[in-house]
Structure 1
Amino acid sequence: MIQRHICENGLRIVTEKIPSVRSVALGVWVRTGSKFESEGNNGISHFLEHMFFKGTKTRSAKEIAESFDEIGGNVNAFTSKEYTCYYARILDQHAVMALDILSDMYFHSVFDEEELEKEKNVVIEEIGMYEDTPDDLVHDLIAKASYSDHPLGYSILGTEEVLRGLAKQDLLSYTDGHYTPANTVVTVAGNFDDQLIEEIKKRFSLYRRPGVSRHVESPRFTSKSIIQSKATEQAHLCIAFPGLPVGHDDIYSLILLNNLLGGSMSSRLFQEIREERGLAYSVYSYHSAYSDTGMFTIYTGTAPEQVGQVFEITTSILDDVRQNGISDKELNKGKEQLKGSLMLSLESTSSRMSRLGKNELLLERHLSLDEIIAKIDRVSTDSISAIANRLFRSPLALAMVSPLEHFPNNVRSDVLVS
């Protein structure tokens, strides 16, 4: 059963007890990421994520790591466009200890100047590694092509130039402005008792931070074409369309549409491009849902001379779905796959903890498993056709990392018509 507690300072605690397990997954979620940055501080959310592990007033970076090793647990963090999460998974008997360390990191990180300079180099190496991985880099480029100068088009990692200029005071100011009670959610899933909730309240319920104005205008889909020439063996191509925001009434129709197009090995794109024609090893689609918009993306890695052919096949498949819809067999298969994936994920305390955090930050509500399954069951072939006709229109956005210097003539943003 999911329970929600609101502390006197506005911080939320969301929990789900699972008495049948012996572990606890604990997360501290902060609603900040690259979407809330500017060109002048792009990458600071991700850099802060690193610096929270570099020592507090009472623990060194090594002691933080050793503390979790000594109890057989693990601790980590990640930054996305709209939120940052610090999380731990431990045996139930060590939950309070894990909470103590995470709260210490949250409130008492010192951002030591020497550690700050070392970690800048670490993140710059991370940026370099990312840029040397074209099948990762192209996804940053498609976000830029889709959202242009809007913060949703920014890289989560930021740039070397910005990182070099960050000072300790920048981190402190950003923390004061964004790591506020209203922006923070603590989630717990697993085998725990009510005493853990009281311990969370004791650490998180009284603090105040000034905060800053955080209004971000909703992005406009800009449908640009971006190509980055690199000496790669393959051409890495992304095609994107406007999607739906998280919580939209038609989101499950879109999830099922994604599944049948490129979300599985039996999907149309995978079967046609890889299995039937052998034109790619990797081909897939995905939908990114944000609080106020979404983006539907198709990725293919193929030989440079095959880019035009792959693009034509892809747009032909999209047009066929628009014109002719999908079969009942495809719909039923997609529903069973989605239900199976959902139910299997619920066997993991980490997945449940993550689900609680994302839902609370972006939706402020939590659907039961029965409610979700009912929404999946209500999806019809007609609703999927309606979504396909709504999404797959011109102009689309394009991004490619490739030894080619230009897109082939037939790869263009206006290939589909409304």
Structure 2
Amino acid sequence: MYKKYTLNNGLRIVTEHIPYVKSLSIGVWIETGSKNENLMNNGVSHFIEHMLFKGTTNRSAKDIADTVDGIGGQINAFTAKECTCYYLKVLDSHYQLAIDILADMIFNSKFDPNEIDKERSVILEEISMYEDSPEDVAHDLLSQTIFEDHALGYPILGTRETLLSMDRESLLSYMNEYYTPTNAVISVAGNFNEDTLLEEIKEKFEGWKGKEALPKLESQLDFNYKIIEKIKDIEQTHLCLGFKGVKMGKREVYPLLVVNNILGGSMSSRLFQTIREDRGLAYSVYSYPSIYKDGGMFTIYAGLNPMQLDEVSYLINQEIENLVKRGLTMAELNKAKEQLKGNYILGLESTSSRMTSIGKSELLLGKIHSPKETIQMIDDINMEEIDKIISSLFGSNDFAAAVVSKQGHKDQLEKMLTKGLR
């Protein structure tokens, strides 16, 4: 059962007590990511995430790592399009230390100029590593293309140019803007004593001061349907197709997940079976939805031999056409529902997954669905909703495309875009 508390400074705390485990996962969530950035400071959220591990007034970077390793714990963080999260997983007896470390990182990080320069180099290497992965490049290019006029299209890591322009003052200025109690959530899942846990969090976080709540304004999300390509000296061609998706928090998310499972979201999906298993044309082919507060995108990806682009594009086209004309069978709908429920329930067995689920939901939606409610929403999906989401995804015949290859394919893709997939 989930519980929610709000401290006097506006900080929200959400908890789920799981008495039969011996561990605890705790995360500090901040509602800021690349979506909150601009062309001048793109990558600042991710840079700050790195800097919070580089030492505080109480602990060096090595002290943080040694302390967590010394209790057999796990510490990490991630930056996404719409949020940043710092989290620890420890034995339940070490909850006080976990809270203290997170508070120390949030409030006492030094942002030493020498460490900033070193970490800048680390992130530049991270960008280089990402650029050496053409599959990742294709997905990022698609996001930049379809969200061309919106911050959702910005890369989370930033660019070399923006990273080189950042200094201690700009990092701290951004952090002071967004790292405020009203813009944050602490989520805890695992075995704990509720009273002592809350007292410990209050002691460390109730003094967190900040400006009034940031305005929660949704921005207009326009979709750009065009083609972008990048030439790289690689063996495969990496193709991404992007379609207009669904907003976070909408009922349509659930039928969308069903359609994704059937089309390309699993090894038994239509795309995987047709393109990989039956024809042997690709090692990797799949689909997935990206769901944000302002809107969403649905992506189809394939990694293939450059000579087989036309054939694979044709097969993708055929599967989409079959989906639009014939929809799903009842057997497929029921199978996909069971698949979704199974994946969801298996995820509930991890305290980290449960901490992530309740923290992100509270941060971005302001509400948390119980497992019973979630299972019911999956069970309630009907064929009419499936038909509507298929029409919404593919009915307009609008899509964007990104391709990474050693040879140009833009003319081929432009022909597809001009005449439509179907």
TM > 0.5: yes
Maintained 8 Å contact 2:149/2:222: no
Maintained 8 Å contact 1:395/1:414: no
Give the distance between the partners of 1:184 and 1:228, measured in 2 at CA.
Answer: 38
Identity of aligned residues (%): 50
Give the distance between the partners of 1:387 and 1:371, measured in 2 at CA.
Answer: 21
1:125 paired with 2:125, answer yes
**Cross-structure match for 1:352:** 354
Local SS of the residue matching 2:416 = coil
Superposed, 1:253-272 pairs within 5 Å as 253-272=255-274
Give the distance between the partners of 2:335 and 2:216, measured in 1 at CA.
Answer: 42
Q: List per-residue Cα deviations over 1:189-222 (Å, max 9, x = no partner).
A: 0001121111112221232223766756222111
Pairing partner for 2:399 from 396, 406, 413: 396
**Cross-structure match for 1:16:** 16
1:413 paired with 2:417, answer yes
Q: What is the identity, as a one-letter code, of the residue corresponding to 1:197?
A: L
TM norm structure 2:
0.97
**Cross-structure match for 1:186:** 186
Superposed, 1:14-413 pairs within 5 Å as 14-194=14-194, 195-210=196-211, 215=217, 217-392=219-394, 393-409=396-412, 412-413=416-417
Q: What is the identity, as a one-letter code, of the residue corresponding to 2:409?
A: H
Local SS of the residue matching 1:409 = helix
Q: What is the identity, as a one-letter code, of the residue corresponding to 2:224?
A: T
Give the distance between the partners of 1:216 and 1:161, measured in 2 at CA.
Answer: 28
Maintained 8 Å contact 1:29/1:186: yes
Give the distance between the partners of 1:373 and 1:92, measured in 2 at CA.
Answer: 29
How much has 1:89 moved relative to structure 2? 0.4
Give the distance between the partners of 2:184 and 2:85, measured in 1 at CA.
Answer: 10
Give the distance between the partners of 1:177 and 1:280, measured in 2 at CA.
Answer: 46
Q: Structure 1 216/364 Cα, relative in aligned 2: closer, same or farther at 3 Å?
A: closer
How much has 1:333 moved relative to structure 2? 0.8
Q: List per-residue Cα deviations over 1:336-393 (Å, max 9, x = no partner).
A: 1110000000000000000011111111111111111111111122211211111113
Maintained 8 Å contact 1:24/1:92: yes
Q: What is the identity, as a one-letter code, of the residue corresponding to 1:254?
A: L
Q: What is the identity, as a one-letter code, of the residue corresponding to 2:123?
A: V
Give the distance between the partners of 1:409 and 1:173, measured in 2 at CA.
Answer: 47
Q: CA RMSD in A?
A: 1.4
TM norm structure 1:
0.97
Give the distance between the partners of 1:197 and 1:272, measured in 2 at CA.
Answer: 53
Give the distance between the partners of 2:110 and 2:216, measured in 1 at CA.
Answer: 25
Local SS of the residue matching 1:226 = strand
Unaligned runs of 5+ in 2: none
Give the distance between the partners of 2:113 and 2:276, measured in 1 at CA.
Answer: 50
Give the distance between the partners of 1:36 and 1:400, measured in 2 at CA.
Answer: 27
Local SS of the residue matching 1:412 = helix
Q: Structure 1 214/38 Cα, relative in aligned 2: closer, same or farther at 3 Å?
A: farther
Q: List per-residue Cα deviations over 1:143-173 (Å, max 9, x = no partner).
A: 0111103110000000111111111011110
Q: What is the identity, as a one-letter code, of the residue corresponding to 1:200?
A: I
Maintained 8 Å contact 1:146/1:223: yes
Local SS of the residue matching 2:308 = helix
Maintained 8 Å contact 2:218/2:293: no
Maintained 8 Å contact 1:96/1:199: yes
